[in-house]
Amino acid sequence: MSDGSSWVGATARQISRAVRRGDVSATQVVADTIEQISISDPSLDAFRVVRAGEALSEAEKVDDQEDLANLPLAGVPVAVKENTAVAGLPTWCGSAAARKPVAEQDHEVVRRLRGAGAIVVGVTKMPEMGLWAVTDDGDGPTRNPWDRDRTPGGSSGGSAAAVAAGLVPMAQGNDGLGSIRIPAACCGLVGLKPGRGVIPAELGIDNWFGLVENGVLTTTVADAALGFAVLAGREPAKLVEPDRLRIGVSTRSPVVGVRPDEANLGAVATASKLLVEAGHDTVTADPPYPVSLGIRVLATWFASAYRESTELDRTRLQPRTRNHIRLGKWALRSGLTGQAPRDAFRERSIKFFADHHVDLLLTPALAAAPPLAEGLSTGSWRRNMSASMRYAPYAAPWNVAGLPAIVFPVGLRPDGLPLAVQLVGPPDSELLLLAVAGQFEVRNPWQRHAFG
């Protein structure tokens, strides 16, 4: 509990344990959450819709259950990203122009959250069609709780802002080219992108050529592990302290001409030192980032927008989105979006770990501070592309490779914004990534919420 009288700011594990023990009702927890959202969200604009009445009714049903022992998220308020179907709500996808009809049933990940006892209190905002690393729409930008002049990142920016502000302890997001990890880095959170096929991820037409994965954003590693287990359909398990690992360290950017700033270089140096203090070995090891990878990532990004817009009135979309779509039509015809090159990069990435004899890879999470929140939704396509690629180049390769990756905080920038690093692993290393992140959390505890 955050202050002895309200459950706002408590972790998911704290809430679920208290509800299962009967120390507090799910209804009280949700009532506290709804009240805090009404106070705080007007200055953040994290939520598209708040389900106040429905959430309280669903919390009462959790309280009425005789046996709560098998509900790992009993009474936990959660938020869901607005491109993920929640029964009874439209699936907004970042703007009224991209909105889909009212969903008749929940997406599978929402079903799993509810099945674990979680209460969906609302859906969170994202940029139009999830295309940008900043979260804004025609109503205005979503703001970073650490600095309201800055973006919380994208595309799961509303989810990240809601968690960082303490409005919910856990929020669902999805990650196509970094859309969980980038907001986690911007907002000082833990964000895990699972490997390919671990969590149900069907969204839109062919799921951005298979690049998108679902996950959660949380303030602690324990909550991240709990959310991962629920979404993956597994029994929650205690993380095991890892044996001595050999971890590759690289600050090389996947984007030619982009270099991390001093603060992000310092974050990697701090993380490397903490790894050694935890008993691991580090070695410089640059992963393969061929120029062709960047070209194919751009082509797939464009083509995904084109395919996802086939049933929309494109004239109502933002100018930056329409330009993306026009390039997507060309990209589909170019032959640059084929599956074979993505499979080849996946194999090359897996081979990287074997060739360098490393268990995990450490990189910066971002290359620069989060951009200013204002003006990007109405700005030019070129300005948006430059902003997204220059501050957040490190996430996308691991969607192409389909490998798991986690972002977590390591401190603060000189301007007070969070600093973070990324760890990447081979297939099926999600629990190892979480365990190593947990070692960081013990040795270098971070501030769980933004204040101010």
**pLDDT (tens digit per residue) in 382-436:** 999 999 999 999 999 999 999 999 999 999 999 999 999 999 999 999 999 999 9
- Catalytic residue, candidates 16, 95, 155, 159: 155
- Catalytic residue, candidates 16, 95, 179, 429: 179
Per-residue pLDDT, averaged over 7-17, amounts to 97
Q: Residue 136 has which token pair?
A: 């804004």
Distance of CA 197 to the CA centre of its chain: 17
Contacts of 75 (CB under 8 A, 6+ apart): 15, 16, 18, 19, 24, 25, 26, 29, 30, 59, 62, 63, 117, 119
Q: What angle do CA 173, 62, 76 make, to 5 degrees?
A: 35
Express each pLDDT in 173-203 by its tens digit.
999 999 999 999 999 999 999 999 999 998 7
Is 238 assigned a catalytic role?
no
DSSP tag of 9: T
Helix (H, G, I), strand (E, B) or coil at 214: strand
pLDDT band at 337 (very low <50, low <70, confident <90, very high): very high
Q: Is the pLDDT of residue 124 over 80?
A: yes
Express the helix, strand and coil content of the chain in percent, nearest 5 each: 40, 15, 40
**Number of H-type helices and E-type strands within the chain:** 15, 15
Helix (H, G, I), strand (E, B) or coil at 295: helix
Domains of the chain: 12-292+335-443 (3.90.1300.10)
Q: Measuring CA to CA, which residue among 162, 223, 233 is closest to residue 198?
A: 233
Between the CA of residue 53 and those of 46, 57, 115, 244, 383, what are the distances in Å?
A: 19, 6, 19, 50, 41
- Catalytic residue, candidates 81, 193, 349, 388: 81
Is 6 assigned a catalytic role?
no
Q: Is the pLDDT of residue 2 over 50?
A: no
- Percent of the chain predicted with pLDDT > 90: 94
Is 179 assigned a catalytic role?
yes
